[in-house]
Amino acid sequence: MNALPGLPILLPLGAALLALLFPRPSPARRVGAGLVLFGLLAFSVWLLGKVMNEGPLVLSIGGWAVPYGIVLVADTLAAIMLCLSSLTAFVCTLFGFAESPMEAEHPLRVPLLLLLVAGIHLSFLTGDLFTLFISFEIFLLASYALMTLQMVATRSRRALPYVTINLFGSTLLLCTCAFAYGLFGTLNFSEIAVQSSAMVGDFRLDILALMFLLVFGIKAGLFPLYYWLPISYPALPTPVAAFFAGMLTKVGVYVLIRVFGTVLPPDLGWVHGLLAWVAGLTMVIGVLGAVAQSRIRSILSYHIVSQVGYMALAVGLFSSLAFAAAIFYVIHHIVVKAALFLVGGVVLRVHGTDRLETRGGLWAAAPVLSILFLLQALSLAGIPPLSGFWGKFLIIQEGLAQGRWTLVVLSLVASILTLVSMLKIWLGAFWSKQPEGVPLRLTPSSRRMTAAVGLLVAVSLGIGLGANRFFSIAEHAAKETLDRTAYVESVRAVNLVLEGGMQP
């Protein structure tokens, strides 16, 4: 047995508590938070390499035998997600430091962000359903607090839909846990995987799968349960919004991949079909919402909805290649989406508003920022050779191979409309002329913010240009996720170690 899977949770948790002990923002605190998040990123990348070579690492907390205790399982998919969330948290924190001077920084933002990261990491690593519920509650509470931390009076009501729908979703998740326990007598993913295979065809299994779809569809922002997202995200402070935009809905997508790939048997064809159709509608309706908006943050928020549709579509297509495409798309999307929100934050600072009709002129004044935006916008729309192209290409290829013509057409339409709304931002904020007498506030702070965005853009370019390497990682993760017997075996192998004493 190996204690390593506990570290990505304990490190941010400990750092958050430590940051609470030193409540005053200071250079030392900033350096400490940056170092912790960078260390987390380095550890996650190292863990990914180790897990890919040696197979999943399993930690049984408290030394309980497998179906009885809580297990943490670090497999390739979980390690990929750990890398992405540490990277996003690191860059967003740096951006936050660059954005606000020390005295304007809210003392609780860093500890809450670290708590959020700890909760998200627990949800990636957990090997049982109830711990998944707990981890969702931990990171949701942290996200509620971050959401209302610095909200001005005219915006506080925008948090209400987010909080209420998640309260409803949490209760539903609790009920789902209860039903799973009633059905299988266990909450452990690997045991559920074993027992559910024997229950194929039982309608109770279908109902359970539908409940999973509903609960994690709410978290991921699938149609028709996405309305909370474009209301609440634009009201957040930029670094928080970028982290939420990158990670939170993707936790829902991750759980969909995990639950439908590993936990539930693959013979739930009609639920997968339903997921694919819901995803198709999500893509188109999300992007139509984006086209209708005239603020950068609102456009980008609707794009999250639309892009989640692509990932859910790949999960719904349900094949090894489709899962690899979904995982690749998650890798691409988290980086690009966070970078776009950060660019939006810089524009907001420079212009004082992110309304597109009234301002412009950034192309002449800030060419680096413009190029960064252009790269990410074209990547989101799916222009080769940027990372978004490969994600969409793989999904559409798989859709064509399965003969799902309507869904393929829907995704192409959504892709074109994405390009249209990205062009709208480009023309509005960057290309058009800045009206006379309205100054652009280009400060050293905005240059530092641009540099932070540059980090993410470099990663995103790397994903696009090294797509082969990243796709082989995604393919490995997809194979591992869909190989349910291997998952069960590697989790049960903990018992052998426990019986034979405590040697690793």
| Ranges within 298-317 binding other proteins (CB under 8 A) | 298
Number of residues that bind other proteins (CB under 8 A): 46
Q: Does 295 bind other proteins (CB under 8 A)?
A: yes
Contact residues for 422 (Cβ-Cβ < 8 A; gap 6+): 377, 378, 380, 381
For the CA atoms of 327, 333, 334, 336, the dihedral, rounded to the nearest 10 degrees, stands at 150
Nearest to 106 by CA among 94, 114, 97: 97
Name which position in 26, 171, 406, 485 contacts other proteins (CB under 8 A): 171
| Ranges within 131-150 binding other proteins (CB under 8 A) | 133-134, 137, 140-141, 144-145, 148
Name which position in 167, 292, 400, 427 contacts other proteins (CB under 8 A): 167
| Ranges within 461-490 binding other proteins (CB under 8 A) | none
Which residue reads 């399993």 in tokens?
58
Q: Do the Cβ atoms of 314 and 326 come closer than 8 Å? A: yes
Q: Do the Cβ atoms of 94 and 122 come closer than 8 Å? A: no
Q: Does 234 bind other proteins (CB under 8 A)?
A: yes
Q: Does 21 bind other proteins (CB under 8 A)?
A: no
Contact residues for 243 (Cβ-Cβ < 8 A; gap 6+): 88, 89, 92, 113, 116, 338
Contact residues for 103 (Cβ-Cβ < 8 A; gap 6+): 25
* Burial (CB count within 10 angstroms: exposed 0-12, middle 13-18, buried 19+), residue 294: middle
Q: Does 182 bind other proteins (CB under 8 A)?
A: yes
Each as own residue / partner, the long-range contacts of residues 446-449 (CB below 8 Å, 24 or more positions apart, any chain) are 446/346, 446/349, 446/350, 446/366, 446/369, 448/98, 449/95, 449/98, 449/99, 449/342, 449/345, 449/346, 449/349
CB of 393 to other proteins, least distance (A): 35
Q: Does 168 bind other proteins (CB under 8 A)?
A: yes
Q: Distance between CA 398 and CA 169 in Å, rounded?
A: 31
Name which position in 263, 348, 395, 414 contacts other proteins (CB under 8 A): 348
Binding mask 375-414 for other proteins (x = CB under 8 A): ----------------------------------------
The Cα-based distances of 151 to 157, 237, 282, 321, 433 in angstroms read: 9, 8, 29, 43, 32
Q: Which helix (H) or strand (E) holds 364?
A: helix 362-365
Binding mask 102-121 for other proteins (x = CB under 8 A): --x-----------------
CB of 450 to other proteins, least distance (A): 18
For the CA atoms of 24, 28, 33, 38, the dihedral, rounded to the nearest 10 degrees, stands at 170
- The residue range among 177-185, 211-219, 446-454, 456-464 that interacts with other proteins, by the rule CB under 8 A, is 177-185
List beta partners, residue 73.
58
Q: Distance between CA 309 and CA 136 in Å, rounded?
A: 21
Name which position in 18, 20, 163, 321 contacts other proteins (CB under 8 A): 163
Q: Do the Cβ atoms of 125 and 74 come closer than 8 Å? A: yes
Name which position in 160, 292, 400, 416 contacts other proteins (CB under 8 A): 160
- Of 38 and 227, CB closest to other proteins: 227
CB of 86 to other proteins, least distance (A): 26
- The residue range among 179-187, 192-200, 446-454, 467-475 that interacts with other proteins, by the rule CB under 8 A, is 179-187
- The residue range among 59-67, 161-169, 207-215, 302-310 that interacts with other proteins, by the rule CB under 8 A, is 161-169
Within 13 Å and on the Cβ side, how many CA atoms surround 494?
27
CB of 57 to other proteins, least distance (A): 26
- The residue range among 290-298, 329-337, 413-421, 486-494 that interacts with other proteins, by the rule CB under 8 A, is 290-298
Q: Does 227 bind other proteins (CB under 8 A)?
A: no
- Of 179 and 431, CB closest to other proteins: 179
| Ranges within 61-100 binding other proteins (CB under 8 A) | 100
- Which residues form the interface with other proteins (CB under 8 A)? 100, 104, 130, 133-134, 137, 140-141, 144-145, 148, 152-160, 163-164, 167-168, 170-172, 174-175, 177-179, 181-182, 234-235, 295, 297-298, 348-349, 352-355, 441
